[in-house]
């Protein structure tokens, strides 16, 4: 009888160990899958920067910094990094000091400082511009019925803003 109890306890321990090992392995696989997805996202943004911006084509370190900045800013506001990258591309083509048509629109993310006076980050700084862009886009995404409307509000409520918003949606859907 004691031998049977010991055997049952031993087998129960093996089953529990196997179960814990299975849980740990599943968690490991999910973590690896998440990391692979993040790497693919960063790779896609980096490749888009390389293909679309001839100014940065040979500046690999800067390209990686911009990619990391976009990914971090987007994740800070629960946005798709590729969406934020497309918006910033349409605003400045990732140039650090772009010249916008309106004097109150500044930075790579094209922040309208008349409309957005109180933000969590400094829109006048290079890094801050990316985060303010993500903050604004997140606000419009939460407050709009569609992606096109949110992007039109970001780009400007005008025929040009609507056209640019539709172009971004088209690029994302491809």
Higher local confidence (pLDDT), 20 or 142: 142
How does the average pLDDT of the chain come out, rounded?
A: 80
Higher local confidence (pLDDT), 160 or 2: 160
| pLDDT tens, position by position, 106-155 | 999 999 999 998 999 888 888 899 999 999 999 999 999 999 999 999 99
pLDDT at residue 70, as a whole number: 93
pLDDT at residue 18, as a whole number: 47
Cα torsion through 82, 85, 89, 94, rounded to 10? -140
Are residues 117 and 103 in contact, defined by beta-carbon separation less than 8 angstroms? no
pLDDT at residue 151, as a whole number: 95
**Rounded CA separation 97/107 (Å):** 6
pLDDT at residue 14, as a whole number: 45
| pLDDT tens, position by position, 30-82 | 666 776 777 677 777 766 665 655 544 445 556 678 888 999 999 999 999 99
Q: Where are the domains of the chain?
A: 41-143
The candidate with the shortest Cα–Cα distance to 148, out of 69, 94, 86, is 86
pLDDT at residue 11, as a whole number: 52
pLDDT at residue 40, as a whole number: 76
pLDDT at residue 5, as a whole number: 52
């Amino acid at each position: 009888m004691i031998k049977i109890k010991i055997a049952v306890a031993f087998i129960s321990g093996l089953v529990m160990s196997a179960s814990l090992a299975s849980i740990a392995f599943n968690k490991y696989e999910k973590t690896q899958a998440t990391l692979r997805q993040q790497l693919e996202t960063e790779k896609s943004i980096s490749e888009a920067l390389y293909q679309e911006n001839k100014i940065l084509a040979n500046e690999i370190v800067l390209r990686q910094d911009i990619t990391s900045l976009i990914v971090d800013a987007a994740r800070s506001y629960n946005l798709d990094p590729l969406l934020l990258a497309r918006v910033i591309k349409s605003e400045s083509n990732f140039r650090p000091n772009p010249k916008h048509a309106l004097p109150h629109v500044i930075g790579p993310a094209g922040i309208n400082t008349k409309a957005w006076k109180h933000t969590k980050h400094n829109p006048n700084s290079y890094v801050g511009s990316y985060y303010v862009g993500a903050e604004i886009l997140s606000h419009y995404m939460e407050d709009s019925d569609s992606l096109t409307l949110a992007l039109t509000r970001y780009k400007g409520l005008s025929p040009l803003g609507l056209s640019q918003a539709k172009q971004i949606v088209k690029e994302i859907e491809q």
